[in-house]
């Protein structure tokens, strides 16, 4: 028996190939179906960053099957939380949504060694987000 999710979260970065994919992977892994998760990019890339895939695999989260998706107005409207990661003004803004901007280094073009600290910071922020959502009335 499934109940409706506590909230819906949309992670947005420019290419939807690194930061937003790692964040979505962590949220799905840590919260299961308690929180609905989406990710998108203002200018989606061709594939998820291989270093991000490898870094996530190291911590037991498989994002190898993820594909970059284009940011749509509908995805924003359907989300309770919209978390941007360097997409600037490309995100449409709607009333009633909680917007957070996570200033995170872009893992594009970096090797797995450089992606690990970004991955770990994303995990910390996702865990804090889950705690916040769980505490909502």
Given 13, 31, 35, 104, the catalytic residue: 13
Given 52, 56, 75, 87, the catalytic residue: 87
Report how far apart, in Å, the C-alpha atoms of 118 and of each of 78, 95, 125 are. Answer: 27, 30, 11
Q: Residue 40 in contact with residue 70, Cβ under 8 Å?
A: yes
* Contacts for 76 with CB less than 8 Å, ≥ 6 apart: 10, 82, 91, 92, 94, 97
Given 91, 112, 122, 130, the catalytic residue: 91
Does the annotation mark 13 as catalytic?
Answer: yes
Does the annotation mark 60 as catalytic?
Answer: no
Does the annotation mark 1 as catalytic?
Answer: no
Question: Which residues are known catalytic residues?
Answer: 13, 87, 91
């Amino acid at each position: 028996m499934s109940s409706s999710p506590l909230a819906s979260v949309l992670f947005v970065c420019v290419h939807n190939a690194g930061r937003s994919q790692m964040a979505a992977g962590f949220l799905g892994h840590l919260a299961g179906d308690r929180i609905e998760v989406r990710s998108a990019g203002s200018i989606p890339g061709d594939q998820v960053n291989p270093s991000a895939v490898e870094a996530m695999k190291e911590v037991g989260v498989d994002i190898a099957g993820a594909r970059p998706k284009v940011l749509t107005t509908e995805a924003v409207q359907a989300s309770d939380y919209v978390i941007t990661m360097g997409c600037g003004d490309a995100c449409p803004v709607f009333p009633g949504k909680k917007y957070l901007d996570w200033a995170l280094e872009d893992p594009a073009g970096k090797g797995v060694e450089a992606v690990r600290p970004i991955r770990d910071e994303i995990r910390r922020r996702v865990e804090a987000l889950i705690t916040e959502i769980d505490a909502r009335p």
